Structure 1
Amino acid sequence: MNADCFEKWFSEVLPKLKPNSVVVIDNAPYHSRKLESLPTMSWTKARIQEWLTSKSVSFEATMVKANLIDIVRQHKREHFDKYVVDEMAMQHGIIVLRLPPYHCELNPIELVWAQAKGYVAKNNKTFKMAEVKNLFEEGLQHITAEKWSSCIAHIIKEEDNMYGLDNMIDNVSDRFIINVTESDSDDFSSDNE
């Protein structure tokens, strides 16, 4: 899979979705092609200046490349954190929700794939590719709307558990913060004063 293939497939799927739908995707590289390249030190100074000018970002013509790249980094978020698939979806009134990196347990499709693969494992008798393919397609046919809803409900419970853990960690870590600044108290004054 690569970005070109995924974007082609995605462009065919988008018209089939209802407006205001939410598409949940992970951070696979082919989901995450940037809409625009960010200038790097390998760019010419003139090209970096052109990029900054096109973004209405001010700079001094006498600045060296390193200073220009620093300015680029300051404006990175507003100009660079846009993805091709997010923009494609937006044109159809669709929202893309990106999962946090390394959190496949928050992706309901993983549970669906597990059910389909489990069906193959349970029913595979010959271990030939043709049978595996047919069984996989049969397994997908067994994924009903109710099973999807169940997978989503499970993910929502996982999210709630994670929110609870975040709050607990915040509460516990706040109690362990040690302040190393000056104290108003005389508890730590030396005997020589």
Structure 2
Amino acid sequence: KGVWSEYCTTKALTVASAPSNRTEHACRIPSSKVVTKLVLEFVRTRRLTRTRVVAKDILALLSENGHISVDMSNAKDVSAALRASQAFLAKQGYMRGAQKGGAYGLTKELVLKRDNYVRFIDAALKESPSRTIVYIDESYIHHHYSRHNDSLYHPDDKVANPPKAKHKGRRLCFVAGIMSDGEENSRLLGLEIFQGGKCQPKDYHGMFTHAFFVDWFGDLLEELEKLQKYGVIIAMDNAKYHQGKPFGTPTGSMKKADMLAACATYGVEVDERSTRPVVWAALKDHIDRTVKSEVESMAMERGHLVAWTPPYHSDLQPIEMVWSDVKGKVGRQYTVTTSFEDVRVRLDAAFTALPSKTIYNCIGHTERKVAAMSLYLETLDEADEELGQCSSDDEGSVDNVSEASSDDDE
């Protein structure tokens, strides 16, 4: 009857999907990017304002935006639409109840660092004119690095068995910075490539030392000077060799007598009878709070500023996407006959051919994300203030009621 009714109405027949679990069943609510994003932003906004949100609210939202047609005068149709909304939410992974855990699973200290960084960068970008930001980082590529995940193969071909992939080899380490200056003038700064030694640590960061980084950072500042860039914010992660203190700063390996002398120099009050670990704890706390890292001092002498990107947030460092682009171009050319010298030639060529627009888009993507996160934090603050005001008003009402009751008793 349904088929005949459809034909009488439309004068056409629709080919039904074969019953199986390999095809997506027809749904009243489309799982399109537009609908998915609309629901996500709606739920996020409601949660920010501490407003309860359930499937009925999602159904009303989709109905208002024309993504589902519901006959509100028909109770059965409304119930069916509500079930469709519940099924859609379950398919998208939504859950009910209080969300467990914090954002990114970070400690309060790391969340504070992230929020401070986001607010600082967003404020700098909103200045008129906006502050120039240089993002710097290090990476590496090894001899046998390949990017063949999209390579073709036939599942029935049992003859063509490629050699086992190699995931180790000599490394080419590199360090650079990127700066946004429009689609045509965004550029790579201070690129330096060097070969790793024979005793390479597993973590490539071990190939970089504080002395090397300070020398390279000085060259970067000279390059900014030639480009006539002043008041630049230089964003980098908190790697140990980035945060090294100036030469002569007290260290934990000093003798207790030297630590006590340093405490006297810095004006740190400590009992001479205290043990060496206690003396060092007091001295280290003072140094961490008052002594700038060497690169921070170098930047401040030129009128620049260093901003430390928060730990575990590589998504806030746009140069990571530049590394991925460059290494991908090298890795896609890899074959079993590729020599280490070939890798160096291809790496140089990839950096030379790196388009300004790619750098500009990578930085723009990250800075838009920073702006969205900053807006999210502002909305959270406003919601907390409103909640606090409501609590204060409620307490005032209770006090007034108590006073009125006391007056009545009298």
* TM-score of the alignment, normalized to the shorter chain, above 0.5: yes
Counterpart position of 1:22: 233
Is 1:112 matched with 2:319? no
The percent of aligned pairs where both chains have the same amino acid is 25
Structure 2 unmatched ranges of 5 or more: 1-207, 388-397, 399-410
Inter-partner Cα distance in structure 1 for 2:330 and 2:287 = 46
Maintained 8 Å contact 1:24/1:99? yes
Distance 1:130 1:39 in 2: 41
Instruction: Note closer, same or farther for the CA distance 1:169–1:20 as it changes in structure 2 (3 Å cut).
Output: closer
More helix by share: 1
Return the structure number with greater relative CO, CA threshold 8 A, min gap 6.
Answer: 1
Displacement of 1:151? 0.9
SS of 2:307's equivalent in the other structure is strand
Residue of structure 1 equivalent to 2:300: 90
- State the partner residue of 2:217: 10
Q: What is aligned with 1:78?
A: 289
Which residue matches 1:187? none
Q: Distance in 2 between matches of 1:50 and 1:20?
A: 37
Q: 1:50 to 1:121 in 2, by over 3 A?
A: same
The 8 Å contact of residues 20 and 95 in structure 1, kept in 2 or not, is answered as yes
Contact 2:237 2:311 in 1 (8 A): yes
Quick one: structure 1 residues 28 and 74, their matched pair in 2 at CA, closer, same or farther if it must change by over 3 Å? closer
Q: How high is the TM-score relative to the length of structure 1? A: 0.71
Flag the 1:167–1:13 CA change in 2: closer, same or farther, 3 A: closer
For residues 313 and 232 of structure 2, the distance between their equivalents in structure 1, rounded to whole angstroms, comes to 22
Secondary structure of 1:8's counterpart equals helix
Q: Is the 8 A contact 2:250 2:259 kept in 1?
A: no
Deviation (angstroms), 1:77: 4.0
Cα RMSD of the aligned pairs, angstroms, is 3.5
Q: 1:26 to 1:73 in 2, by over 3 A?
A: closer
Q: In the aligned structure 2, how far is the partner of 1:111 from the partner of 1:74?
A: 36
Tell me what 1:189 maps to. none
Aligned residues, how many? Answer: 179
Q: Deviations over 1:58-115 (max 9, x none)?
A: 456x5524664464355344334x2111112222222222211121111121111111
Instruction: Report 1:3-152 matches (<5 A).
Output: 3-18=210-225, 19-35=230-246, 37-38=249-250, 40=252, 43-59=254-270, 63-65=273-275, 68-69=279-280, 71-72=282-283, 75-80=286-291, 82-125=292-335, 126-152=337-363
Q: 1:2 to 1:39 in 2, by over 3 A?
A: closer
Letter matched to residue 121 of structure 1: G
Structure 1 residue 50: Cα displacement: 1.4
Structure 2: distance between partners of 1:11 and 1:88: 8
- Closer, same or farther in 2 for the Cα pair 1:37/1:169, shift >3 Å? farther
Residue 153 (structure 1) aligned to one of 364, 370, 373? 364
Q: In structure 2, what is the Cα distance between the partners aligned to 1:2 and 1:69?
A: 24
| Residue identity matched to 1:151 | C
**Gap runs ≥5 in structure 1:** 176-183, 185-193
- Larger Rg, first or second structure (1 or 2): 2
SS at 1:31 equivalent: coil
Q: Whole-Å Cα distance in 2 between the matches of residues 163 and 139 of structure 1?
A: 34
TM-score, reference length from structure 2: 0.37
What displacement does 1:23 show?
2.1
How many angstroms apart in 2 are the aligned matches of 1:43 and 1:91?
29
Q: State the 1:57 CA deviation.
A: 3.3
Instruction: Compute the displacement of 1:3 (Å).
Output: 1.1
Structure 1 residues 159 and 93: CA distance shift in structure 2, 3 A: same
